[in-house]
């Protein structure tokens, strides 16, 4: 070994093997520019591997070259594996791996076992539901007998007329209500006598009324053929019109009964206001899919939708393009004007992009100042034109601080399109990110496409 190479090799060995190796080339080697450049490149690759080992899959790898590309591919594969694991956690056991050797076999075996276990559980749940349905029928019959023996009609009316839920009886032959409790006034604004005088269609939306009529007709055909009435209880969510012109969402629980006096089949039901519950469910859905600051799709929901579009392209072959967009010098905006203005900048950019989107396109915030746009049935050439339109729209944003200082906003955009043979969303994200990197490197405020 040459004595002159000894210190340089020792330095590189330390970078590879020493946990506390310096991140930058030591100053006493500064005269050897080639050594320092090699050292800095290896240091960046080392930092990328350290980040991957620590579970940081979002670290940007700016270095170019074969080994850096390998690290980026590993990062993209690990991101895709993370997404697949999340899909499995949500109940999608169709996920499979084909790029990690023996681990892929173990992973695929695990998902197959999970799918089998899930199927067995569903079968057992169905059996339990059938058992519960039978038990509910027996319990209902017992309660009905006990009520007939222990309680008078006056006590029954006192109970139903003082509860918040609406109790009602529908004659199956005429489709007219024969009883409805006074609480319907609080629910829908109508008095009981108004409900009793009106046909079934007045109590439901047109679609719901048609469904109820079809259900009743089918049950009566079975009953008149001697096969009895439907057993058990049925629960459904129904939108009902109110007297003031609004509507209310309700949960309706129904049960078929043969009238003791007339022998005619009836539907007994209880209706409950579920407006707050549905609003809560809708808010949960919104929080699970929408980025709180910008109102765009969040990363998880955007990528899930993008994967579905890729699968659709595999089956049907329409063009599909992906744009990755990053606000130029966003850190400088935050440092100069404050994070509150930075938030306003993110909102302004999201609003500008949304204005130009078609209803079929998707916009998501991937994190920080980075956005992604999925353009369905759009080839690369058209996507480049659209990207330029987005870039110009952002550049035209007129944003000022409270004290009147202008906040200039510019974006760099990377563009790619779906490749018909064996392409994936991870690959498209990688290519679009490469285009974004080239746009940044080329001076920012520009569009670069990677076919």
- Per-residue pLDDT tens over the stretch 108-125: 778 878 778 778 888 888
The structure tokens listed for 319 are: 């063009």
Per-residue confidence in pLDDT tens, the chain, 451 aa: 444 788 888 888 888 888 888 888 888 888 888 889 888 888 888 888 888 888 888 888 888 888 878 888 888 888 888 888 888 888 887 888 777 677 777 777 788 787 787 788 888 888 888 888 888 888 788 888 776 656 656 666 666 667 789 999 999 889 899 999 999 999 999 999 999 998 888 888 888 888 888 888 888 888 898 888 888 898 988 889 999 989 889 999 999 999 988 888 999 999 998 888 888 887 788 788 999 999 999 999 999 999 999 999 888 878 999 999 999 999 999 999 999 999 999 999 999 999 999 999 999 999 999 999 999 999 999 999 999 999 999 999 999 999 999 999 999 999 999 998 779 999 999 999 999 999 999 999 999 999 9
**Angle at the Cα of 403 (from 400 to 407), degrees rounded to 5?**
25
Domains 151-275 and 290-449 share a fold: no
pLDDT of residue 59: 84
- Dihedral (C-alpha) 441, 443, 445, 448: value to the nearest 10 degrees? -50
For the domain made up of 151-275, the CATH class stated in words is alpha beta
CB atoms within 10 A of CB 445: 18
- Asked if 379 and 321 count as a contact pair (C-beta separation under 8 A), the reply is yes
| 20-32 core/surface letters (b: 16 or more CB in 10 A; e: else) | ebeeebeeeeeee
All structural domains of the chain with their residue ranges = 23-88, 151-275, 290-449
Per the confidence metrics, is the pTM higher than 0.85? no
- Going by C-alpha positions, the residue among 322, 302, 309, 313 that lies closest to residue 427 is 322
- Going by C-alpha positions, the residue among 327, 294, 310 that lies closest to residue 436 is 327
The SS3 assignment for 305 reads helix
The structure tokens listed for 177 are: 């209500």
- Going by C-alpha positions, the residue among 319, 394, 407 that lies closest to residue 355 is 394
Quote the DSSP letter at residue 369.
Answer: T
Q: Tell me which H or E stretch contains 363.
A: strand 362-367
Residues 370, 328: Cα–Cα separation, whole Å: 10
Q: Tell me which H or E stretch contains 237.
A: strand 233-241
- Residue-wise DSSP of 76-141: HHHHHHHHHHHHHHTT-TT----SSTHHHHHHHHHHHHHHHHHHHHHHHHHHHHHHHHHHHHHHHH
Assigned CATH topology for domain 290-449 = Alpha-Beta Plaits (3.30.70)
Active site residues: 369
- Asked if 253 and 270 count as a contact pair (C-beta separation under 8 A), the reply is yes
- Asked if 409 and 327 count as a contact pair (C-beta separation under 8 A), the reply is yes
Q: What are phi and psi of 411, to 5 degrees?
A: -135, 150
Quote the DSSP letter at residue 409.
Answer: -
Strands 447-449 and 411-417 turn out to be parallel
pLDDT of residue 153: 61
pLDDT of residue 92: 84
The structure tokens listed for 95 are: 């996920």
- Asked if 257 and 246 count as a contact pair (C-beta separation under 8 A), the reply is no
The predicted-structure confidence for 171-192, as pLDDT tens digits, reads as follows 988 989 999 999 999 999 999 9
Residues 310, 278: Cα–Cα separation, whole Å: 32
């Amino acid at each position: 070994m040459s004595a002159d190479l000894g210190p340089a090799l020792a330095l590189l060995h330390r970078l590879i093997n020493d946990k506390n190796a310096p991140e930058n080339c030591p100053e006493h080697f500064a005269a050897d520019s080639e050594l320092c450049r090699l050292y800095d490149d290896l240091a960046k690759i080392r930092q990328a591997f350290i980040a991957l080992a620590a579970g940081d899959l979002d670290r940007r790898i700016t270095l170019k070259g074969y080994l850096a590309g390998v690290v980026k591919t590993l990062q993209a594969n690990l991101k895709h594996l993370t997404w697949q694991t999340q899909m499995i956690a949500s109940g999608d056991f169709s996920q499979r791996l084909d790029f990690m050797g023996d681990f892929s076999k173990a992973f695929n075996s695990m998902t197959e076992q999970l799918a089998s276990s899930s199927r067995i559980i569903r079968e057992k749940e169905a059996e339990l539901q059938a058992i519960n349905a039978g038990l509910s029928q027996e319990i209902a019959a017992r309660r009905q007998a006990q009520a007939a023996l222990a309680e008078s009609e006056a006590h029954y009316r006192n109970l139903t007329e003082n509860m918040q839920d609406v109790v009602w009886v529908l004659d199956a032959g005429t489709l007219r209500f024969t009883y409805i409790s006074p609480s319907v006034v609080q629910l829908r604004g109508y008095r009981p006598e108004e409900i009793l005088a009106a046909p079934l269609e007045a109590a439901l939306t047109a679609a719901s009324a048609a469904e109820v009529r079809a259900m009743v007709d089918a049950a009566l055909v079975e009953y008149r053929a001697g096969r009895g009435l439907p057993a058990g209880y049925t629960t459904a969510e129904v939108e009902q019109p109110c007297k003031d012109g609004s509507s209310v969402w309700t949960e309706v629980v129904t049960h078929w009964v043969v009238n003791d006096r007339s022998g005619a089949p009836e539907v007994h039901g209880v209706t409950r206001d579920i407006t707050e519950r549905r609003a809560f469910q809708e808010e949960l859905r919104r929080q699970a899919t929408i980025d709180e600051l910008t109102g765009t799709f969040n990363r998880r929901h955007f990528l899930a939708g993008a994967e579905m579009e890729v699968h659709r392209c595999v089956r049907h072959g329409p063009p599909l393009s992906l744009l990755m967009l990053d606000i130029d010098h966003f850190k400088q905006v935050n440092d100069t004007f404050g994070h509150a203005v930075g938030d306003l900048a993110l909102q302004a950019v999201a609003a500008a992009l949304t204005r130009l989107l078609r209803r079929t396109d998707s916009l998501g915030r991937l994190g920080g100042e980075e956005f992604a746009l999925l353009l369905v049935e759009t080839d690369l050439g058209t996507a480049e034109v659209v990207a330029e339109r987005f870039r110009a729209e952002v550049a035209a944003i007129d944003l000022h601080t409270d004290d009147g200082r202008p906040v200039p906003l510019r974006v760099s955009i990377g563009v790619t399109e779906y490749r018909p043979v064996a392409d994936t969303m991870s690959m498209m994200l990688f290519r679009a990110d490469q285009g974004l990197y080239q746009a940044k490197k080329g001076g920012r405020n520009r569009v670069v496409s990677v076919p």
